[in-house]
Amino acid sequence: MERVLKRLAIIHYLLFLISLSFSGFGCISGGGGVGSLGINYGQIGNNLLPPENVVELLKSLKIMKARIYDTNPQILNAFANSGVELIVTVENQMLATLMDPQQALLWVNSHIRPYFPSTNITGIAVGNEVFTGDGTSSQILTYLVPAMVNIHAALVQLSLSQYISVSTPSSLAVLEESYPPSAGCFRKELAAIMPQILRFLNNTNSPFWINAYPYFAYKDNPSQISIDYVLFNVPNQGMVDPYTKLHYNNMLYAQVDAVVFALAKMGFGDIKVGVSETGWPSMGDPNEVGATLENAAMYNRNLLRRQMADEGTPLRPNVTLDVYLFALFNEDLKPGPDSERNYGLFKPDGTMSYNVGLTNSMSSSEIRT
């Protein structure tokens, strides 16, 4: 009987995928959108749509979660009364200042309180990828936990903590090991600070956010990593964790579960893990293997399918994985390799870079107005 049920479940899933393929890769044409899918709205460009138009674009796509990398007043005002859930960010250079509780209270009073609740701020990201793994982040790391604690204390003082969570997005550089997922563990140089971060998240019921990019792993080792595995294509051989016997048919879920195992080894296995950034560039420099429009479209289409199905990872199959896609726009002023400027679902004028299956109910002229 168990075998029959498993076969029926597989058939049901395959029929679901087929139905998506006949509906424009799972176009969202009504309802409240994909509740577990958000998008990163960066602003490092000189030709981006005005924030008011961005709000209308998101709503037309039925994307009701977004993350920004600052507390730009123009954006916070534009998002007022939109219903879009917004995560805002304390810039890394502010962390030293926010070690002072009074400065943290001043920051919340000036950057959050005037806009809430009209603007649906649901989270504050204190810093972004503070630990870089290259030795340049040791000093700023000492500011991180006090800044988080002080921001949360300010929210408590202003009776906002029940509405707004506090966390910090990390890169996968925080992991010493990530393969197989069950080997996941944090870097030894984080032995002092990571327990402090995790105790804070656990005590405040806040998620551990990770910026996870299978693209980077593939770019660095394309001869050893299957493109189908990193792009969520099915079927693919994937990998089986030799210790848990769990099967992974995509790298993103393996990366997330490696973080879950790392948390458990620190005694915090119940903390929820979310993906604060993931994406794929549609263009890159000649040495950036895999950075193509076709791969970007496939990665994000397949990711959208998974989010529509409210999937969990193999280790946490019944816990929907919250994912924030990177990014909404191509940003022409970002430094670094060409790929950094080409992660967007949309070009700066609001036209699609490629179609991932999100139904846009607005015309191009309406977006640019």
2, 56, 85, 129: the active-site residue: 129
366 annotated active-site: no
Q: Are 107 and 94 in contact (CB under 8 A)?
A: yes
Phi-psi map region of 206: left, alpha, beta (phi>0 left; psi -120 to 50 alpha)? beta
* Three-class SS state of 40: strand
Q: Which of 130, 116, 131 lies closest to 71 in space, CA to CA?
A: 116
User: CA–CA distance from 197 to each of 140, 286, 291, 358 (Å)?
Assistant: 14, 39, 34, 36
201's tokens: 């998240």
Relative to beta strand 37-40, strand 185-186 is unpaired
- The secondary element (H helix, E strand) that includes residue 148 is helix 138-157
Q: Quick one: how far is CA 236 from the chain centroid? A: 24
Phi then psi for residue 166, to 5 deg, are -125, 130
Q: Are 256 and 322 in contact (CB under 8 A)?
A: no
56, 277, 288, 331: the active-site residue: 277
Residues in the chain: 369
Residue 71: Cβ-neighbour burial (10 angstroms; 0-12, 13-18, 19+): buried
189 annotated active-site: no
User: CA–CA distance from 307 to each of 216, 270, 301, 343 (Å)?
Assistant: 22, 22, 10, 19
Distance CA 131, CA 289 (A): 26
Catalytic residues: 129, 277
